């Protein structure tokens, strides 16, 4: 089996058809570059939806993975292991939170935040039993569990998967007045993405997060930020909320927390919130295992040591300006922050992503009409300069 086509046919035979992948079969990755089974080389401008902020197979992370994999991989939380404490201490020190709770996938961390927020609502805010409400935003993306898709506004995410969990109210994104209006005595949390990534790289107005945070504080509602895609340097700050000096009550992270080497996610919050959990309340067999912890520690080290947030800030601003210079009647808008950039077209973006692939650039459409450019943050200006004329050619050619 040597061709892309052969692997794709085989995949289509044995895989559920829940993805519309670009027709390329990757076999190797290094930094910002990937290779397909036919030997073609591409610039990865998706980074596995921001799981690869540190780039493919970062040597520091791979080394930690190999070393730990040969020593101890999992204990379950029935026993302690010597890697978890160090990982959580590092995570809390870097982020300034008192406690962290490790999970695996992003969706699981969102579920964890919801459980913690609800329990806080009943035991601390004293909301009436089974009446807790969480406010979410239209056009959100928080994952794929039945609870989470139940509060999605995307019809396809919901269709065929009901009945759904009660206790969620949806308001428009980027609208603090709607939040203020909607909060009632049973509201315990406001779950929000600082930038809606899957929703099409939607950047809210300046001051939006701060306004919402202040409204939450005034009403004793937990401000819960889903930074799974925007966090860990992607938008040019460690957290996207840092732009407005907002310190969420609960932060949800995942994706780049492992540098793309393992599924690792977590929630962060202070003691008065995390302490509502007691032994038996919540758990995960793989969550916080020593292999994940060693990888997570290394992945954090790389973000800090290589100043990835600062890189994303500088290179992202430059790259976005260059993209804005492309003159084409097909472009509706270029927007984003740091190296999370959306180029919105007036028509469907899929065809353009397929053309970009022919020019050696892997990007994926999101929300039909948006091409997302989110390369690994280890990318250099030279590599972005390599990509620009190719993007220009595909978009305006
Ligand atoms: C990717 C993502 C998730 C879900 O993460 P999974 O690891 O796919 O479960 C949740 N929220 C946001 C903002 C994401 O980008």
DSSP class per residue in 2-60? -SHHHHHHHHHHHS-S-----S--EEEEEBTEEEETTS-EEEESSHHHHTTTT-BT-HH
And the tokens for 34? 């990937």
Distance 49 CA to ligand 1 centre (A): 8
And the tokens for 88? 């959580």
Distance 221 CA to ligand 1 centre (A): 23
Distance 325 CA to ligand 1 centre (A): 31
Q: Kindly report, residue by residue over 161-174, the tens digit of the pLDDT.
A: 999 999 999 999 99
> Which residues, in sequence order, are CB contacts of 119 under 8 Å at separation 6+?
276, 277, 281
> Which residues, in sequence order, are CB contacts of 309 under 8 Å at separation 6+?
233, 236, 237, 238, 303, 338, 377
For residues 58 and 259, the answer to whether their CB atoms sit within 8 Å is yes
Question: What percentage of the chain has pLDDT greater than the value 70?
Answer: 100
Q: Across residues 283-295, what is the average pLDDT?
A: 98
For residues 100 and 91, the answer to whether their CB atoms sit within 8 Å is yes
In the predicted structure, residue 397 carries a pLDDT above the cut 90 = no
The predicted model scores a pTM of: 0.98
Give the pairing type, strands 187-192 and 133-137. parallel
Distance 143 CA to ligand 1 centre (A): 5
Residue indicated by tokens 């991989």: 73
Q: Across residues 292-305, what is the average pLDDT?
A: 98
Distance 13 CA to ligand 1 centre (A): 27
In the predicted structure, residue 2 carries a pLDDT above the cut 90 = no
Peptide bond into 185 cis (omega under 30): no
Whole-angstrom distance, CA of residue 270 vs CA of residue 273? 6
- Active site residue ranges: 141, 226, 255
Q: Which residue of 52, 137, 196, 198 sits with most ligand 1 atoms within 8 Å of its CB, as the best mutation to test the pocket? A: 198
The mean pLDDT of the chain is: 97
- Band (pLDDT 50/70/90 cuts) for residue 346 is very high
Q: Whose CA is nearest to atom 11 of ligand 1?
A: 142
Q: Across residues 21-31, what is the average pLDDT?
A: 97
Per-residue 3-state assignment (H helix, E strand, C coil) for 247-309: CCCEEEECHHHHCCCCCCEEEEECHHHHCCCCCCCCCCCCCCCHHHHHHHHHHHHHHHHCCHH
Q: Across residues 41-45, what is the average pLDDT?
A: 98
And the tokens for 12? 């289509």
Q: Kindly report, residue by residue over 108-140, the tens digit of the pLDDT.
A: 999 999 999 999 999 999 999 999 999 999 999
Output the CA–CA distances (angstroms, integers) from residue 145 to 36, 111, 251, 286, in the order listed.
31, 8, 19, 18
Whole-angstrom distance, CA of residue 247 vs CA of residue 95? 10
Ligand 1-lining residues (CB < 6 angstroms) = 49, 105-107, 110, 141-143, 193, 197-198, 226, 228-229, 254
Distance 148 CA to ligand 1 centre (A): 11
For residues 376 and 383, the answer to whether their CB atoms sit within 8 Å is no
The b/e string for 14-24 (b: 16+ C-beta within 10 A; e otherwise) is: eeeeeeeebeb
- Band (pLDDT 50/70/90 cuts) for residue 355 is very high
Whole-angstrom distance, CA of residue 87 vs CA of residue 98? 13
Q: Which residue of 143, 191, 253 sits with most ligand 1 atoms within 8 Å of its CB, as the best mutation to test the pocket? A: 143
Q: Kindly report, residue by residue over 63-72, the tens digit of the pLDDT.
A: 999 999 999 9
For residues 386 and 375, the answer to whether their CB atoms sit within 8 Å is no
Query: So what's the pLDDT on residue 1?
Result: 74
Query: So what's the pLDDT on residue 196?
Result: 98
Q: Across residues 361-387, what is the average pLDDT?
A: 97
Q: Which residue of 46, 142, 199, 292 sits with most ligand 1 atoms within 8 Å of its CB, as the best mutation to test the pocket? A: 142
Query: So what's the pLDDT on residue 152?
Result: 98
- Domains by residue range for the chain, with CATH: 4-54+307-396 (3.90.1150.10), 59-305 (3.40.640.10)
Residue by residue, DSSP assigns 180-228 as HHH--TTEEEEEE-SSBTTTTSBPPPTTHHHHHHHHHHHTT-EEEEE-T
In the predicted structure, residue 378 carries a pLDDT above the cut 90 = yes
Query: So what's the pLDDT on residue 26?
Result: 98
And the tokens for 20? 């519309």
Query: So what's the pLDDT on residue 149?
Result: 98
Whole-angstrom distance, CA of residue 112 vs CA of residue 103? 8
Q: Which residue of 228, 231, 235, 372 sits with most ligand 1 atoms within 8 Å of its CB, as the best mutation to test the pocket? A: 228
In the predicted structure, residue 347 carries a pLDDT above the cut 80 = yes
Other Cβ atoms less than 10 A from the Cβ of 288: the count is 28
Q: Kindly report, residue by residue over 175-192, the tens digit of the pLDDT.
A: 999 999 999 999 999 999
Question: H or E element: which one contains 345?
Answer: strand 340-345
Query: So what's the pLDDT on residue 159?
Result: 97
Q: Kindly report, residue by residue over 244-280, the tens digit of the pLDDT.
A: 999 999 999 999 999 999 999 999 999 999 999 999 9
In the predicted structure, residue 101 carries a pLDDT above the cut 80 = yes
Q: Across residues 218-240, what is the average pLDDT?
A: 98
Q: Whose CA is nearest to atom 6 of ligand 1?
A: 106
Distance 71 CA to ligand 1 centre (A): 30
Residues in the chain: 397
Please give the number of the atom of ligand 1 that sits closest to the Cα of 148: 10
Query: So what's the pLDDT on residue 325?
Result: 97
Q: Kindly report, residue by residue over 236-252, the tens digit of the pLDDT.
A: 999 999 999 999 999 99
Query: So what's the pLDDT on residue 78?
Result: 95
Q: Whose CA is nearest to atom 10 of ligand 1?
A: 142
Q: Which of 369, 358, 359, 363 is nearest to 340 (CA)?
A: 363
Query: So what's the pLDDT on residue 67?
Result: 98
Q: Kindly report, residue by residue over 315-324, the tens digit of the pLDDT.
A: 999 999 999 9
């Amino acid at each position: 089996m040597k061709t892309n086509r052969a692997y794709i046919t085989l995949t289509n035979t044995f895989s559920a058809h829940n993805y519309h992948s670009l027709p390329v079969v990757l076999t190797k990755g290094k930094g910002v570059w990937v290779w397909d089974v036919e030997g073609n080389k591409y610039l990865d401008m998706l980074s596995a939806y921001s799981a690869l902020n540190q780039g493919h197979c970062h040597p520091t992370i791979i080394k930690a993975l190999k070393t730990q994999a040969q020593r101890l991989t999992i204990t379950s939380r029935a026993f302690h292991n010597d890697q978890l404490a160090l990982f959580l201490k590092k995570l809390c020190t870097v982020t300034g939170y008192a406690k962290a709770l490790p999970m695996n996938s992003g969706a699981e961390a969102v579920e964890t935040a919801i459980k913690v927020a609800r329990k806080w609502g009943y035991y601390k805010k004293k909301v009436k039993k089974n009446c807790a409400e969480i406010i979410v935003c239209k056009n959100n993306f928080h994952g794929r569990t039945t609870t989470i898709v139940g509060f999605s506004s995307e019809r396809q995410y919901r269709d065929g998967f009901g009945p759904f969990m009660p206790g969620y109210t949806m308001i428009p994104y980027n609208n603090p007045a709607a939040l203020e209006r909607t909060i009632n005595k049973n509201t315990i949390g406001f779950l929000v993405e600082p930038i809606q990534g899957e929703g099409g790289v939607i950047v809210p107005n300046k001051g939006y997060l701060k306004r919402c945070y202040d409204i939450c504080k005034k009403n004793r509602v937990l401000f819960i930020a889903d930074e799974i895609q925007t966090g860990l340097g992607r938008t040019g700050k460690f957290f996207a909320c840092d732009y407005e000096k907002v310190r969420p009550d609960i932060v949800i992270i995942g994706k780049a927390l492992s540098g793309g080497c393992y599924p690792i996610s977590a929630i962060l919050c202070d003691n008065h919130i995390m302490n509502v959990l007691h032994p038996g309340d919540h758990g995960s067999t793989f969550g916080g295992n020593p292999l994940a912890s060693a990888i997570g520690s290394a992945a954090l080290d790389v973000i800090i040591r290589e100043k990835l947030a600062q890189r994303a800030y500088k290179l992202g601003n430059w790259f976005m300006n260059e993209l804005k210079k492309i003159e084409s009647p097909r472009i509706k808008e270029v927007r984003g922050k740091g190296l999370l950039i959306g180029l919105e077209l007036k028509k469907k973006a899929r065809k353009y992503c397929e053309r970009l692939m022919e020019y050696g650039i892997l990007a994926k459409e999101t929300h039909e009409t948006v091409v997302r450019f989110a390369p690994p943050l280890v990318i250099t200006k030279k590599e972005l300069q390599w990509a620009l004329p190719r993007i220009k050619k595909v978009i305006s050619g």
